[in-house]
Structure 1
């Protein structure tokens, strides 16, 4: 029975993942008449706009993922070590998985859009409109992405926190270490691998998410959003597939480089 279930699982993965992926790759190497060509990749990687958008998207998702891992550490510590509010915090982070990127885009617009809660409160209290339309800036896009990145990082890191040896933490306190020293010199090094894994996982999720950008970005070209527009808006299927393949290769190459750098050049 276990072997039968394994075979069913492999076949299901092949049908739902490998077959569609193979079709995307095939279309990326064919022209409108079905003839083999590299023109789609020349259009994507040779065009300055698409190439720059790809590089900017990689840098943006890498920067926000590292920030999310660091900002998610306090919540992960509370969830992993227990204490007041830990259950509620875990539930809040888990609820994050119930919402798609479009929902977070809508929440960001409702919070810091032109008529969001924050601009309205600012105007009523101070008579200014500094935060009006903030969500449509690059900084606003960072805030919108952080809305789903930080909770997911916190949950991933909480699993590692739960496995920390409490004797090591108690020993550091016994030797006179302050809480901040225990956190920075004992806990963080022990969580180094988990922090890297959480960053890489969040980076790959962010690369594939474009719902937030679809609603809020006006000047920053998120590559996934451009793939969506090429496929749905312009019906340039060959170009869209070449963009998708290029994005996947670049994303996994970047993730591999992150892991290798974090391990000191050793896999």
Structure 2
């Protein structure tokens, strides 16, 4: 098939509605958010149109720098752990019979139907002292008495990895399902062990896919809002939580809008990098 650019309005029709939705639900709100971010705050929770950069200058403060660095480090750690677990799992999944693959994919899709609130409360219950997993450890004699494992950084990391894991599997699955089994068989014929064949053949061939999945999981974790509040302590709150705090509780809409603009720009830059990597892989 030869691709050519649309020449008439009728040929543009299939993309008009998505383009309209993009303008109405993203471009216009994002433009309004930029306008609010440069507005002047008035005591009492109001603001007036202006062109001030004081809200962006606050990014240089130690408090904002600490929240930003923690949010970036947490998102990076979640992405690495989720992909580190998801890649070998997806590779094994792609080698199963088709019926087993369908069952696993349906199970993963059912996890995606759970809201962040349900996931947060489920993990907080699982890690609680009264009804948590430590009661099982006490029952088998591994612990003297049950303990509460939440809120803590470990609980927050576990909940966010659990939430990001199905997305990483669904992104990795198409590439690993298309992997030619003859490559692994050839390496095994040449004397490589299954583990060595996995790291010397499978992983290098999927390098761009792994990087794109890492970026996707990073962007997903960067916007997490409820789980840091449900499973973490105040020092574990991310930039998304700080935005809500400034907008609702501190009544500082201009600063909240400035942080939101920054977060959106970082996410868009990472998505663009992921698309660039995908294009290079196709080429």
The two structures share one fold, judged by TM-score above 0.5: yes
Deviations 1:17-38 (A, max 9, x none): 1111111111001111222211
Deviates more, 1:1-10 or 1:175-184: 1-10
Aligned counterpart, 2:203: 188
Aligned counterpart, 1:158: 173
Question: Is 1:18 matched up with 2:27?
Answer: yes
Give the distance between the partners of 2:240 and 2:251, measured in 1 at CA. 15
Aligned counterpart, 1:39: 54
Aligned counterpart, 2:118: 103
More helix by share: 1
Aligned counterpart, 2:77: 63
**Structure of greater Rg:** 2
Q: Given that residues 175 and 206 in structure 2 are in contact (C-alpha distance below 8 angstroms), is that contact kept between their aligned partners in structure 1?
A: yes
Aligned counterpart, 1:265: none
Give the distance between the partners of 1:129 and 1:253, measured in 2 at CA. 48
The structure 1 residue matched to 2:89, chosen from 75, 82, 87, is 75
5+ long unaligned stretches in structure 1: 262-267
Give the distance between the partners of 1:48 and 1:224, measured in 2 at CA. 17
Structure 1 residues 124 and 171, CA, compared in 2 at 3 Å: closer, same or farther? Answer: closer
Aligned counterpart, 2:128: 113
TM-score calculated relative to the size of structure 2: 0.84
Measured after TM superposition, the shift of residue 119 of structure 1 is 2.6
Aligned counterpart, 1:204: 219
User: What are the equivalent positions in structure 2 for 1:127-142 lying under 5 Å apart?
Assistant: 128-129=144-145, 132-142=147-157
User: SS of the residue aligned with 1:36?
Assistant: coil
Aligned counterpart, 1:3: 12
Give the distance between the partners of 2:24 and 2:274, measured in 1 at CA. 31
Give the distance between the partners of 2:101 and 2:33, measured in 1 at CA. 43
Give the distance between the partners of 1:120 and 1:66, measured in 2 at CA. 30
User: What are the equivalent positions in structure 2 for 1:201-240 lying under 5 Å apart?
Assistant: 201-218=216-233, 219-240=235-256
Q: Given that residues 86 and 168 in structure 2 are in contact (C-alpha distance below 8 angstroms), is that contact kept between their aligned partners in structure 1?
A: yes
Aligned counterpart, 2:68: 54
When the two chains are superposed, the root-mean-square deviation of aligned CA atoms in Å is 2.7
TM-score calculated relative to the size of structure 1: 0.88
Give the distance between the partners of 1:258 and 1:162, measured in 2 at CA. 20
5+ long unaligned stretches in structure 2: 1-9, 41-46, 278-283
Give the distance between the partners of 1:128 and 1:208, measured in 2 at CA. 38
Q: Given that residues 209 and 224 in structure 1 are in contact (C-alpha distance below 8 angstroms), is that contact kept between their aligned partners in structure 2?
A: yes
Give the distance between the partners of 1:200 and 1:159, measured in 2 at CA. 17
Give the distance between the partners of 1:216 and 1:180, measured in 2 at CA. 35
Give the distance between the partners of 2:54 and 2:268, measured in 1 at CA. 23
Structure 1 residues 179 and 153, CA, compared in 2 at 3 Å: closer, same or farther? Answer: same
Measured after TM superposition, the shift of residue 123 of structure 1 is 3.7
User: SS of the residue aligned with 2:261?
Assistant: helix
Measured after TM superposition, the shift of residue 171 of structure 1 is 1.5
Deviates more, 1:4-13 or 1:56-65: 4-13
